[in-house]
Every structure is written in structure tokens, then in C-alpha cells.
């Protein structure tokens, strides 16, 4: 049973700090400066792509899911660490990215962002006996439902969703040079928040570095290893160019490389294996979701990371418990 505390939303700067931590927790960092750089990265990418609604949606989703946690008296410590906000901000980025900018879309965004807060608690309760966590799967699950619903609801048209199809043909050719490889690598990091911008990737890395140098390193490794893997296996060229093979491996790398295990040689090997598996889960799920015409979102990260955490391998003196990852950070 989840214990709750009758808590009130913090006022002023305290509430802002809570939301900034929520943004940072998308990549496991309950740090206000990390969250600030993540929001700056989203702002830059949204403006550069001519989609300011993505930045607005990110803020609306973050505020909504955080306030929902207070209204439902969710566990207070989760609120302090920003764990009510990270699924909501991803919902806020996804809806304006895939759906038409209508009043109905914004209503659905608020509803979905709020939903992720208690869905996260429910999923965590289900997964507690296995000592693991739902990660961003509440965002994935709830967003899938609303994106599928958009096919039947004209008020929130699926303007940027792919048409459902059984097979897909693509060109594996991509332009390769040192400059383009660096751009594809950085976009793999920026796409964690559905932003297609190498500048945003740099801002995200800076935010990670300010919180945890290991997290910045593993995000870099995760994106580069996934990029080299899909180039070697000749993945879809357009997806490579836009960093779409990188964002789930980035999250897997941070999770396995320095969040749930202490960084050392054994865990590094484990994390690299996790990144490689995530690439294949991503490619497989891309095909699986084609008939539905919806994106995989961060589901490949969740599935691959569960596959590597559920065995409960002990890589140091402590018995692993993957139910929580947060440590108190400023």
C-alpha cells in the first residue's frame, strides 16, 4: 500500500524547483539546473523547428502532472524529487508534435498528463515485487491511447502521425562525414524530448554534466553506440539522420551505466549490452507499430532496461533494488 501525506503545493520558487526537477528526471536527474537546461533545449528546438506549441505543451504537461500529484496526495518524497513531472512533460512534447493544434488537443494533453501521475503509481505498485520501476512507460502507455484515439476523433487530428501500413520501404543511405556524424549523435540525445536539434543535444549534455558527469558520459556513449550500430546494420536512413535510433539507447545507457548500478567495468559492459539490445528492440517495435501508425516513443528503453534489471544481478556488495533511483539533489 502507498502511504500518502496530506501535502499542499509549494509556493513560488519552491514549486518552480519541483518542476525543474521533474524535467530533469526524464534522464534520472533530480537537479534543478539540469531541468533548466532541458527546458532551454526544448525552447531552442521548438523555436528552431517553428513549433513553439511544443514548448508550451511541455510546460503545460509538466505543471499539470505535478499539480495532479499534490491533488491526489501522492507520496510526498516523490513530489519533492520531481517524480510526478517527468511523464507529464513528455506528454506535453508529444501531443503538439503529432497532433493538430486545436482546443481539443490541448484539453486532451491536460487530461493525459494528469493521467500519467496516477498511472505511474499503479504501474509502480504492480512492479514493486520485482524491485523495478515503470520509468517512462506511463507516458508511453497513456500517449499511445490518445494517439490511437485521434484516428477516430476529428477534434485532434493526427497531422504528423504516419499512415498505418503493413510494410515499409526505406533507403539506408545517409551522408557520412565527421560533421554529419556529430549532428546525428547529438540529435539522438535531443530526441529524448522529441526535439530534432543538435544544439538542443548540446544543451542536454550540459545539463546532465552539471548534475552527474557519469550521466553525461553515458548519454554520449549511448547515442554514439546506437548510431554506429544502425549504420553498420543499415537502418532506415531518414531515422538515422533525425536521431530516432538514439533516444531510447541514451536512456538505457544512463539507467544501466550509472543510475541503478555503480559505474565500474562490469556494469559498463552490462550497459553497453543494454544499449545494443535497445537498438534491436527499437527496430523491431518500429515494424510492430506500423499497422497502428503510432510511434514507439520510449517503449524500447523501458522494455530493454527491464530485461537487464529484472535478473537482479549483483555487480557490487549491495543487493540491487531498482524500485527507486532518486537521491536528494539541489
**Mean model confidence pLDDT for the chain:** 91
Closest CA to 186 of 223, 215, 213, 150: 223
Residue 2 falls in which region: left (phi positive, over 0), alpha (psi -120 to 50) or beta: beta
Q: Does the structure show a pLDDT above 90 at 316? A: no
pTM over cut 0.75:
yes
- As a whole number, mean pLDDT of residues 41-69 equals 96
CB neighbours of 325 closer than 8 A, spacing ≥ 6?
28, 133, 255, 259, 260
User: What pLDDT is recorded for position 284?
Assistant: 95
- CA dist., res. 78 & res. 18, Å (int): 10
Q: How confident is residue 7, by pLDDT bands cut at 50, 70 and 90?
A: low
* Grid coordinates of 73: 496526495
Q: Does the structure show a pLDDT above 60 at 211? A: yes
Closest CA to 146 of 191, 102, 91: 91
Angle between helices 198-211 and 213-232 (to 10 degrees): 140
Closest CA to 188 of 230, 147, 159, 160: 230
Q: How confident is residue 3, by pLDDT bands cut at 50, 70 and 90?
A: very low
The DSSP code for 162 is P
User: What pLDDT is recorded for position 125?
Assistant: 93
| pLDDT-above-90 percentage for the chain | 80
pLDDT digits 0-9 by tens, 126-148: 999 888 999 999 999 999 999 99
In the chain, the domains with their CATH numbers are 13-164+174-309 (1.10.3430.10)
Q: How confident is residue 272, by pLDDT bands cut at 50, 70 and 90?
A: very high
User: What pLDDT is recorded for position 10?
Assistant: 66
* 8 Å CB contact between 38 and 30: no
Q: Does the structure show a pLDDT above 60 at 118? A: yes
User: What pLDDT is recorded for position 203?
Assistant: 98
User: What pLDDT is recorded for position 14?
Assistant: 85
* Grid coordinates of 122: 499503479
**What are the two backbone dihedrals, phi and then psi, of residue 320, each rounded to the nearest 5 degrees?**
-70, 140
- As a whole number, mean pLDDT of residues 89-108 equals 97
- As a whole number, mean pLDDT of residues 271-288 equals 97
pLDDT digits 0-9 by tens, 165-200: 876 666 777 889 999 999 999 999 999 999 999 999
**Out of 2-11, 53-62, 104-113, 287-296, least confident range:** 2-11
pLDDT digits 0-9 by tens, 233-248: 999 999 999 999 999 9
Closest CA to 5 of 52, 70, 99, 61: 70
Amino acid at each position: 500500500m502507498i502511504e500518502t501525506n496530506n501535502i499542499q503545493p509549494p509556493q513560488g520558487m519552491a514549486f518552480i524547483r519541483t518542476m525543474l526537477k521533474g524535467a530533469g528526471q526524464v534522464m534520472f536527474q533530480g537537479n534543478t539546473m539540469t531541468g533548466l537546461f532541458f527546458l532551454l533545449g526544448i525552447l531552442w528546438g521548438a523555436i528552431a523547428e517553428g513549433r513553439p506549441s511544443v514548448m508550451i505543451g511541455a510546460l503545460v504537461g509538466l505543471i499539470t502532472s505535478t499539480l495532479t500529484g499534490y491533488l491526489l496526495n501522492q507520496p510526498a518524497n516523490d513530489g519533492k524529487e520531481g517524480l510526478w513531472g517527468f511523464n507529464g512533460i513528455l506528454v506535453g512534447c508529444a501531443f503538439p508534435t503529432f497532433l493538430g493544434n486545436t482546443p481539443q488537443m490541448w484539453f486532451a494533453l491536460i487530461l493525459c498528463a494528469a493521467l500519467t501521475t496516477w498511472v505511474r503509481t499503479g504501474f509502480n505498485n504492480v512492479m514493486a515485487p520485482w524491485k523495478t520501476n515503470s520509468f517512462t512507460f506511463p507516458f508511453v502507455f497513456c500517449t499511445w491511447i490518445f494517439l490511437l484515439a485521434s484516428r477516430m476523433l476529428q477534434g485532434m487530428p493526427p497531422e504528423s502521425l504516419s499512415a498505418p501500413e503493413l510494410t515499409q520501404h526505406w533507403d539506408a543511405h545517409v551522408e557520412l562525414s565527421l560533421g554529419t556524424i556529430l549532428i546525428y549523435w547529438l540529435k539522438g540525445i535531443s530526441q529524448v524530448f522529441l526535439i530534432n536539434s543538435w544544439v538542443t543535444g548540446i544543451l542536454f549534455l550540459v545539463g546532465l554534466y552539471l548534475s552527474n558527469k557519469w550521466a553525461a558520459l553515458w548519454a554520449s556513449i549511448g547515442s554514439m553506440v546506437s548510431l554506429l550500430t544502425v549504420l553498420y546494420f543499415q537502418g532506415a536512413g531518414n531515422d538515422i539522420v533525425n536521431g530516432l535510433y538514439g533516444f531510447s539507447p541514451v536512456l538505457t545507457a544512463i539507467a544501466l551505466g550509472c543510475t541503478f548500478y555503480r559505474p565500474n567495468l562490469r556494469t559498463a559492459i552490462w550497459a553497453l549490452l543494454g544499449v545494443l539490445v535497445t537498438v534491436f528492440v527499437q527496430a523491431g517495435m518500429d515494424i510492430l507499430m506500423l499497422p497502428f501508425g503510432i510511434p514507439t516513443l520510449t517503449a524500447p528503453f523501458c522494455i530493454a532496461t527491464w530485461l537487464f534489471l529484472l535478473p537482479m544481478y549483483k555487480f557490487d556488495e549491495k543487493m540491487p533494488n531498482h524500485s527507486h533511483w532518486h537521491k536528494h539533489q539541489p
